[in-house]
Amino acid sequence: MAGKKVLIVYAHQEPKSFNGSLLKIAVEELTKQGCSVTVSDLYAMQFEPRATRNDIVGHLHNSEAFNYGVETWEAYKRGCLSKDLVEEQKKVREADLLIFQFPLFWFNMPAILKGWMDRVLVQGFAYDFSKIYDGGLLQDKLSLFSFTTGVSQEIYSKEGIGGDIRYVLWPMQHGIMHFCGVKVLEPHICYAPENVSEEKRKEMLAAWTQRLKTLWKEEPINCSPEWYFK
């Protein structure tokens, strides 16, 4: 939709990967719609995933015992977070839609993307403990998790050994995005692209293109435990 701003946070090492193809399609299709698209390519940026003292510029609130949550909250209020965090927060602040593109690692997002969540979405910016979930500080935004798996859809089913894929999404969509007030669109999952035919991979890419064409008409999911565990 013309005028909308999109931030894609991308976590894959190889531009020629299937994830790279999904990213390329998203940038091209959303740009074609008139959206302003920004990409945070975490590996290319050599984004620092570790939450450390280096994230605070200047003095600490309590130099006797380091508490990352407290120190980043105080630093945010003083305007004293590190430059890379300020830049990423600016991208988030300006975005109408956040897309996270990544391969699923060990039932979770890659460490570099989890580090982005840990470091960027600090108290005061993304939430306050009196302002969480539907009252979170980022409640004017949409999010979408687009990812690939290493195994088939059958394994990620209630009857499969991996359990329902929605169980995996609970800490990501509900524990992070919804906690910060962000509305969540249905995830886009490409199951085991490395283990299917070239024709099937092309179908997966075409389905992503097609979905993006009508993305702005979609309604967010019902952000409740029932969506994940019913």
- Computed over every residue of the chain, the mean pLDDT equals 96
Number of separate domains in the chain: 1
- In the chain, the N- to C-terminal Cα span, in Å, equals 33
Q: For residue 153, what pLDDT band results from cuts at 50, 70 and 90? A: confident
- 12 with 44: CB under 8 angstroms? no
Element (DSSP H or E) covering residue 198: helix 198-213
184 SS3 class = strand
CA distance 65 to 68: 10
What are 166-192's pLDDT values in tens digits? 999 999 999 999 999 999 999 999 999
What are 111-152's pLDDT values in tens digits? 999 999 999 999 999 999 999 999 999 999 999 999 999 998
Q: Using alpha carbons, select from 22, 27, 61, 19 the residue that is nearest to residue 43.
A: 19
Any idea which residue has 């060990």 for tokens? 106
User: What type of residue is 144?
Assistant: L
CATH number of the CATH domain containing 29:
3.40.50.360
What are 49-86's pLDDT values in tens digits? 999 999 999 999 999 999 999 999 999 999 999 999 99
Question: 134 lies in which domain range?
Answer: 5-229
